Amino acid sequence: MSDFNFLMLHAKLAGFKLLVSANRIGCEDEFSKMLHDRLMAGLDGAIRSTRRIVALQRELIAEDDTDGVISCQLQGEEEVLARRTLVLLDELEIDYFTYEYRVNDGEWHNALSADYDGIEISYPTTVSVSDTEIGPLATIIHDIARETGIAISVVRVVYD
């Protein structure tokens, strides 16, 4: 069992969710509201993960885990939470083996093109959205990442 305090992480995440919810009241445009909504949804997912981890820790203490099932579940949940990235805008997934990419879990697209000049491989790229464009939410995003260790992505996919 990890010595990390997931109950404290749960409290921090819940506090940040409350802060994001209160900050959403001042949103004047749909873009800002959408970012707030997606951040709250991501925080909800992280909060659910911490609840599962705390429940598994409690179960591990209360029961005999001779076959290691609870320990394995606990380790898996901790790893999932540690790798979690909250994606607020666009997500680009590239499969370099098949030369395909997809945006926001959409359809896969082939990055290969061929003409009389030869074969070209062209993947889209991501560009970070500026703190100015994000507005007051940028400070909250930086605080969440710093205090919880959860990565938050606010990027746009750009096609060349």
Q: Is 9 helix (H, G, I), strand (E, B) or coil?
A: helix
pLDDT digits (tens, 9 = 90+) for 13-69: 999 999 999 999 999 999 999 999 999 999 999 999 999 999 999 998 888 878 888
pLDDT digits (tens, 9 = 90+) for 74-95: 999 999 999 999 999 999 999 9
Domain residue limits, the chain: 6-89+129-158
Q: CA nearest 152: which of 91, 65, 85, 106?
A: 85
What is the pLDDT, as a whole number, of residue 65?
Answer: 79
- Using the 8-state DSSP alphabet, how is residue 158 labeled? E
- Using the 8-state DSSP alphabet, how is residue 138 labeled? H
- Full-model pTM: 0.86
Q: Which residues pair with 69 in a beta bridge?
A: none
For the chain, list the strands marked E by DSSP: 85-87, 92-95, 100-103, 109-110, 112-115, 118-121, 125-128, 151-153, 155-158
pLDDT digits (tens, 9 = 90+) for 95-105: 999 999 999 99
